[in-house]
Amino acid sequence: MLSLSREEICREIFEGSRGKVKVKKPGIAVKNLEKIFDATLAISHHKGFHAMTLRDLSRETGLSMGALYSYFSSKDELLDMIENQGRRIIKRVLEEQIRKAKGAAEKLSIALYTHLYLSEAYSRWFYFSYMETKNLRKEQQKKAIENELFTEKIFMDILDEGCREGVFTIADPPLTAAAIKALLQDWYLKRWKYSRRKITVEQYAQFILDLIEAFIL
């Protein structure tokens, strides 16, 4: 249903960074941004973004140091580009999908499935974003915390709506929303555990929905 290919994500980043990216030809810029972001996520997964050097990135992408500087002026700017675009996509897709639902019960189901499917399709970004938060500058850490709270608030609002409708019975919606968020994070932070058990994202999504509904209905 959604267009989330790496090419289209990088095209969005290019369009939103025209003032910073010095390469003007969209075809070349988007192709190289794909290489840069793929390499950044891959290197960060093994040694951490903080430990990654631009020489590491140059070697992994096959782009010269000068070519890399045509897309960003520093590692901090590269981090901003990756983090900001990821947050925009998550926020936009979640809100678009939830708007299609009628009633709190359907909204809860759609929100859970959408978040998990996004984290499956965009797993390296979710993992990167969580693990690298500690290395962000203060203003970026604030944005990361706001993003965390934004997701929790989506679920808290759905839970509150369900209580008003009389379909949910919850003593503490904020704490319940925080617990839901933790269950969602477990999928992309400990993906290896579920792969070993041959649990699919569809199975995990249904399990979480059943678990939460058993608690709140």
pLDDT in tens, 54-104: 999 999 999 999 999 999 998 888 888 888 778 888 888 899 999 999 999
Amino acid, single-letter form, for residue 156 = M
State the pLDDT at residue 2: 65
Amino acid, single-letter form, for residue 116 = L
Per-residue tokens: 148: 């965390």
State the pLDDT at residue 68: 95
Confidence of residue 9 (pLDDT cuts 50, 70, 90): confident
pLDDT-above-70 percentage for the chain:
96
Amino acid, single-letter form, for residue 123 = S
Please check the confidence at residue 3 and state whether its pLDDT lies above 70. no
By the 8 A CB rule, do 78 and 36 touch? yes
Domains present along the chain, CATH in parentheses: 6-73 (no CATH), 86-216 (1.10.357.10)
CA distance 5 to 131: 23
Which of 80, 82, 183 shows the shortest CA–CA distance to 124? 82
Confidence of residue 138 (pLDDT cuts 50, 70, 90): confident
CA distance 179 to 31: 39
Query: What is the Rg, in whole angstroms, of the alpha carbon atoms belonging to the chain?
Result: 19
3-state secondary structure of 182: helix
Give mean pLDDT, residues 184-206: 95
User: In sequence order, what are the residues at sequence separation of 6 or more whose Cβ sits closer than 8 angstroms to the Cβ of residue 15?
Assistant: none
Give mean pLDDT, residues 98-116: 95
State the pLDDT at residue 141: 74
